[in-house]
Amino acid sequence: MPKTGKKGLQTTLRNDLGRDLVVVNRQIDSVAAWMAAYFQFEVTTLESSQQVQRRDLKTFLEFMLAEVGNDRLPNWTPRLSQAFKSWLQHEVNSEGHRRWNDRTVNRMLAHLKTFAKWVHKYRPFPLGNPMEKIKLVAAPSLLSIERAITSTERRRLLDAADLLVETGGRSRDRHRYRNATQRPRRQDYRPYRNRAIVYALIETGMRRAAVVAIEVEDVEVEERALRTSEKGGMEQVYQISREGLTAITDYLEKERPLDAKHYKKSPALFLPATGKVNASGRLSVNAVNDIWQQVCDAADVHGKTPHSARHGMGRHLMEKTGNVEAVQRQLGHKNAAYSLQYARITKEELNTALDDRE
């Protein structure tokens, strides 16, 4: 992608609030230049995510140069976008297999849609936003809803999480201690914290990284909401059930103060146990994985990950409300197409519906 000097790209506009916005010069006619400005002024995701976006947009740029012979903005039309989509779906590799699967095609189109919308905002295309009417590929592999936790698994997982307060982290010596609740508990075990983490995953649908990113001041008790940082550093507010909020307030009142004395400067909601080697004062994603797996083992739930709880929340909201916007708002999907997938039916549900004809 050609490099363009910052002075050539930059101009100052004012938004509706009177604040200065630094954006690309409207007179520039090169798609490559707009791409450079897009990453310089607009994109705020992690570097790893930006690398994928750059690769996807570069694929389109190379296609446009091959098809049109130049990268002038007026030549990026809806028909060119449709041709690009068709090419992605039919391009084959040296072995005669499709070069990109449907999921990758949809990712490329999604990145291109976001970029085109941004360009069109400042420099309208003559024939309108060239990606506006381009639909994603109907790809059943986009979301494996079969991996979502079921209502039965949710109940068993939450029951197992509740039992942590009584039996979690205790000795397994059945000979010396017949009563499980009277067995000694490891000093570094935090049952209320682990219980609250499981509730946060299941009762909000947030990702693991978002759980560890929650800070104490981001727990809004009256609003029944948790504010956290999601993928790309974007802020997301998750509503949480009454039971979930109770589990978190129990941890705040009964357990967190024990570790807050050691991690005085840590703003994190979920703290490592005192004595653990952790300079950051914040749990790791791997620690969340371990806690989840321990509860899954206790609940006899197999093959489900913390992300399965996110899928479970999406399905639950779709079944309860039938409203795509409710799913999109809770899970923070920028593209409604991802929320809409929770309306899909599983193979087992389809078989049940076919058998139940009375």
Q: What is the pLDDT of residues 273-317, one digit of tens each?
A: 886 666 678 898 999 999 999 999 999 999 999 999 999 999 999
Could you give all domains of the chain from N- to C-terminal order, each with its CATH number?
A: 6-122 (no CATH), 145-352 (1.10.443.10)
Whole-angstrom CA distances from 276 to 171, 190, 273, 281, 284 are 20, 12, 6, 10, 12
pLDDT at 358 > cutoff 60: no
| pLDDT tens per residue, range 225-274 | 999 988 767 889 999 999 999 999 999 999 999 999 999 889 999 999 88
Where on the phi/psi map is residue 45: left (φ > 0), alpha (ψ -120 to 50), or beta?
Answer: beta
Which amino acid, one-letter code, is at 242?
A: R
Among the listed residues 161, 280, 289, the one whose alpha carbon sits nearest the alpha carbon of residue 215 = 280
Determine the 3-state secondary structure of 344 from DSSP: coil
Q: Residue 141 contacts by C-beta under 8 Å, 6 or more apart in sequence?
A: 101, 102, 103
- Cβ–Cβ < 8 Å for 158, 241: no
Distance (Å, whole) CA 227 – CA 170: 33
Distance (Å, whole) CA 298 – CA 163: 9
- Cβ–Cβ < 8 Å for 217, 179: no
Distance (Å, whole) CA 214 – CA 245: 13
Q: Which residues of 22-40 are buried (b: 16+ CB within 10 A; e: fewer)?
A: ebbbeebebbbbbbbbbbe
Here the tokens at position 253 are: 């009142």
Which amino acid, one-letter code, is at 301?
A: V
Which amino acid, one-letter code, is at 57?
A: L
| pLDDT tens per residue, range 139-190 | 554 455 678 899 999 999 999 999 999 887 666 656 665 666 666 777 888 9
| pLDDT tens per residue, range 94-125 | 777 789 888 889 999 999 999 999 999 989 99
pLDDT at 29 > cutoff 90: no
- Cβ–Cβ < 8 Å for 268, 282: yes
pLDDT at 4: 44
